[in-house]
Structure 1
Amino acid sequence: MVALAIAEAAALAAAGAALDIEGVSHAFDIDGAALPVLDDISFSLEPGEFVALLGPSGCGKSTLLRLVAGLEPPTSGTLREDGEPITRPFPSRVVVFQDPTLFPWRNVWHNVALGLEAQGILKSQRHRVDAAIDLVGLSGFRKAYPHQLSGGMAQRVALARALINDPKILILDEPLGKLDSLTRIAMQAELVSLWQRSGFTTLLVTHDVEEAVYLANRVIVFSDRPARIKADIAVDRPYPRHRGDPVLAELRRKILGLLGLEATW
């Protein structure tokens, strides 16, 4: 049994990719003037690790996700996936945004199938669409259209659409930010379950301190723009986690202090 558990853990780790961010700075060109957004950011993720980014609104967290996704190059510094420079978008890195952005004229099945369809392999890989839908718990909604789904269900479709590509790195830009509190709590548990089953490396941006310590192995706290790393905090608690855990409560207090919000605790 022990050997089997070790083998399963190794297989899950292999499903994720290592991510290295080295000396990354970035600026926007605003009417010919440079607006610094990121300032000398360096950190790494091990394969299969779950890391959350926290910081003030507008500090550059989502910009860093765009760089990791390969949607634009950094002004300076290097980003690497499994040692290879990130220079463009690639199927091994998939982004899930705050808005599900589903096509309203496509039902759930056909929204999830988009990635395989774009690759020209849908005909031979149709079973993967059904598997992804089952994985996020929407097996009874394959033929439903986006207007027939709740916010949480629509975000599950977006996750299925991402997972069908077997990502090595899942990039999450506040994917639960617009959900009501009860749906958000349920989706947090679902996200942990998907990550544990699939083994992808996860990089999450959130403004919710409780969400960060509940989900992640590590929480990286950014300063105001241009963002620098203020702290890299390990969340050394087993899963499933409990929100009343005093260790998590202390971590929340510490992080709120770093964000200048300790008085609200």
Structure 2
Amino acid sequence: MVSAALAPAALPPGMALSVERVSHGFVLQDELLPVLQDIALDIEPGEFVALLGPSGCGKSTLLRLIAGLEPPRGGRILADGLPITGPDPSRVVVFQDPTLYPWRTVWDNVALGLEARGILKSQRHRVDQALELVGLARFASALPHQLSGGMAQRAALARALVNDPRLLILDEPLGKLDSLTRLTMQGELVSLWQRAGFTALMVTHDIEEALFLATRVIVFSDRPARIVEELRVDRPYPRHRDDPELVRLRQRILERLGLGGSW
């Protein structure tokens, strides 16, 4: 389970996010392929929002725009009321693949962000705190090949959390884990979010995962993605997968995705 949290005084509050009529696409063979169409979404500080939709509809593209990795072709995205114009340490992405450097220890992998910002010498304690937070303090000197899949993903989370992000952007972070490890990591991710207070935005293809983790679920159409449903998951934590309300919401999502008659 997750170890003791970082001291509350060291944690910034969650970030407010506004996606204002964003449209986006890519040029392929001299033609524009629309990917996102008129997306409008407001996320309150400290929310945990899950994005669901057909594979390839544009969910991960929206995450890239929010991370500041590229600008939208139309509309704008605001973080705490200010336009996003590029990447920032306050907005950190965790991908499906942990992408740990195999020649660096777990500690050194987690320290990468502070090292790149030139503040590692004075902030070394934050690496230790992040490893403690995700339960990897005893594996600080291990190399990535010595970790299980779940441990590697915890290391990736620690690498993100060491920057004290106000927005944690999760692009199917548990997608490659086996089912038992994935269930464990879902509970640990909720604990991290509750302890740290950041805003979380996650793409997942797992409806039950979205309902287990998120305070709100956004359902997208096929490409070009439009928002077709917003569902508030007003259930206490820890949640139980057989909760009748979660079962009802699951069926509602399946219907919106055109799969209601299959279950």
Q: Aligning the two structures, in what range does the TM-score lie when normalised by the shorter sequence?
A: over 0.9
SS at match of 1:166: coil
Unaligned runs of 5+ in 2: 1-7
Which residue among 197, 200, 203 is the counterpart of 1:202? 200
Which residue among 120, 140, 143 is the counterpart of 1:122? 120
CA distance in 2, matches of 1:119, 1:224: 39
SS at match of 1:153: helix
The residue identity in structure 2 corresponding to 1:141 is F
Deviation at 1:264, TM superposition (A): 2.6
Residue of structure 1 equivalent to 2:159 = 161
Provide closer, same or farther for how the CA distance between residues 14 and 114 of structure 1 changes in structure 2, counting only shifts above 3 A. Answer: closer
Deviation at 1:250, TM superposition (A): 0.7
The residue identity in structure 2 corresponding to 1:224 is D
1:88-133: CA deviation from partner (whole Å, max 9, x where unpaired): 0011000000000000000100000001111111111111100000
Q: Which has the higher helix share?
A: 1
The residue identity in structure 2 corresponding to 1:18 is A
**Corresponding residue pairs, total:** 256
Which residue among 165, 173, 176 is the counterpart of 1:175? 173
Which residue among 91, 110, 113 is the counterpart of 2:111? 113
Q: Do 1:221 and 1:229's aligned partners in 2 also have CA atoms closer than 8 Å?
A: yes
Which residue among 231, 234, 239 is the counterpart of 1:233? 231
Deviation at 1:243, TM superposition (A): 1.0
RMSD between aligned residues: 1.3
Deviation at 1:14, TM superposition (A): 5.9
Which residue among 64, 67, 77 is the counterpart of 1:66? 64
Unaligned runs of 5+ in 1: 1-7
Residue of structure 2 equivalent to 1:141 = 139
Q: Do 1:19 and 1:46's aligned partners in 2 also have CA atoms closer than 8 Å?
A: yes
Residue of structure 2 equivalent to 1:5 = none
Q: Do 2:25 and 2:35's aligned partners in 1 also have CA atoms closer than 8 Å?
A: yes
Deviation at 1:13, TM superposition (A): 10
Q: Which runs of 4+ in 1 moved over 3 A?
A: 11-14
Residue of structure 1 equivalent to 2:5 = none
Deviation at 1:263, TM superposition (A): 2.1
1:128-165: CA deviation from partner (whole Å, max 9, x where unpaired): 10000010011111111000101100000000000000
CA distance in 1, matches of 2:175, 2:42: 25
